[in-house]
A and B are shown apart, each in its own frame.
Chain A
């Protein structure tokens, strides 16, 4: 009885938390490049089977997930965050906001993310995206005021995660909390 409880408990915990090996973490962003190939580990396979998602294939791109800002503050949709800086080399990237279950979040302007082609940048090629519940000038990504959200940064046609053994993969954009309420 105890053994079954321990075993099933451990399975449930690892699958709902999304445990997988081979994580690549840069700042607040974490990717699992192996999950997009046949080298995917059993934990990631089981997680994907449970959630019903299809991982981004390695020859296609790589997806970085963030649940907190750089300081570890959990993404609360009632707070404002700023995503800014530079991005790694990629032909295109997209940034998308989801709820904790991977669904898009309803908002008044029907915006769920940005692509690298539509973002407003300064002369040096830097950009800033305001992730906030209420309208902001510039690049505003609405949170819909939900309790917890997830940001996913997808790089398409990129060498990131394909080259093995490199730790200096960056730079990934900075994420900073600007205030709450």
Chain B
């Protein structure tokens, strides 16, 4: 009798474990309030948009750093590679690439980029493989990033070391661009 009860409890625990793992793994696909969904209404595809600074009343996402000016590019590279061009601010600028499901797969800052502007080409692994070989050689000083997904987010962030420098940080982001490369666009 007791053994039978124990067996039922054990079965429930094992099944419970399976339910737990299945829900954890399925959640990122089912989420409706993830960063991409929050940004979709305000960020048109393949263009750079500055986000409103977070305040106590409203913030696009939780845990945003209020010391940064932020611009976002919601990309879709299914029709061709994307060109990102971002002038560097005086203090600190970084670019982070996220998949559709908010996985940060690549991040670089102004020092690592090593120039006055951060210039990147974003493409799928297939588009990278299709690039003509000689172009790949001359591309030595062009940074190519492979996106694991066709859609995702690029977050461009410029630090305002003091609140008074926020207009400078926002000004630096205003010159940033992301667009599908017209030369490589596929019909």
- Does A60 contact B96, Cβ atoms closer than 8 Å? yes
Shortest distance from the beta carbon of A144 to any chain B beta carbon, whole Å: 8
How many residue pairs link A and B with beta carbons under 8 A? The number is: 193
Given contacts A50-B27, A54-B96, contact A7 B16 (CB under 8 A): yes
The answer to the question of A3 belonging to the interface, with a C-beta cut-off of 8 Å to chain B, is: yes
Q: How far is the CB of B101 from chain A (nearest CB, A)?
A: 7
Chain B residues within 8 Å of A4, by CB:
15-16, 19
Interface size on B, residues (CB 8 A): 60
A73 within 8 A of B: no
Contact with A along B11-44 (1 / 0, CB 8 A): 1111111111011110110010111011000000
The answer on a CB contact under 8 Å between B24 and A46 is: yes
Q: Measured between alpha carbons, how far is A87 from B125 in the docked complex, in Å?
A: 40
Q: Which of A79-126 contact B (CB under 8 A)?
A: 91-92, 94, 96, 98, 101-107, 112-113, 115-118
Residue A57, interface by CB 8 Å: yes
Binds A, one of B79-87, B106-114, B134-142: B106-114
Does B172 count as interface, using CB distance less than 8 angstroms?
Answer: no
Q: Give CA–CA (A42, B13) in the complex, Å.
A: 20
Max count, chain A CB within 10 A of own CB: residue among B11, B13, B107, B153? B107
CA distance A53 to B155 in the complex (A): 12
Interface residues on A, range: 35 or more
B111 partner residues in chain A, CB cutoff 8 A = 91, 157
Q: Does B168 contact A (CB under 8 A)?
A: no
Closest to B164 in A: A118
Q: Is the CB of A113 within 8 A of B66?
A: yes
Chain A residues, Cβ within 8 Å of B101: 45, 49
Q: Which residue of B lies closest to A63 (CB)?
A: B63
Residues of A close to B35: CB separation below 8 A? 48, 52-54
Q: How far is the CA of A43 from the CA of B20 in the complex (A)?
A: 11
Q: Is there an interface contact between B56 and A106, defined as CB atoms closer than 8 Å? A: yes
Residue A55 is within 8 A (CB to CB) of chain B in the complex: yes
List 8 A-B residue pairs with CB atoms under 8 Å apart, sorted by A's residue number. A14-B20, A46-B27, A51-B62, A96-B65, A104-B54, A106-B56, A115-B159, A157-B109
Known: A40-B104, A49-B101. 8 other contacts (CB 8 A): A4-B16, A6-B17, A7-B18, A11-B19, A38-B105, A46-B25, A52-B38, A57-B94
